[in-house]
Amino acid sequence: MQIIDRCRDPYGSLSDSRKALLEQLCATPDQCLWERARGLIIRAVPIVTLENAVRSVRKSADTGQVPDPFTLYRALRYAVDYDTKGTVPASGGISK
């Protein structure tokens, strides 16, 4: 998934194992994978974890559940396209 290739941690591109974990979570989300992946840093500056990104794009009533594939995609897109200046990112964006 191209959006996963655009994710970064403080050391640069995500490792192959972290990319594989995100791919697997997006393909077949379950509680075990979510617990392993939710703390992954997917944006280095400002630091955004997968869990922070998911919380930013979904309704507060869903906070206890494993996110569905579309919510995960929206969260990844949110982190990758995050704009600190408040303007619209060049590559698009999402709305809540």
Rounded to two decimals, the pTM is 0.81
pLDDT surpassing 70 at residue 22? yes
Mean pLDDT of 58-83: 85
Q: At 29, give phi and psi (nearest 5°).
A: -65, 130
Provide the pLDDT for residue 84.
52
pLDDT surpassing 50 at residue 24? yes
Mean pLDDT across the chain = 85
pLDDT surpassing 70 at residue 85? no
Provide the pLDDT for residue 71.
93
Q: At 42, give phi and psi (nearest 5°).
A: -115, -5
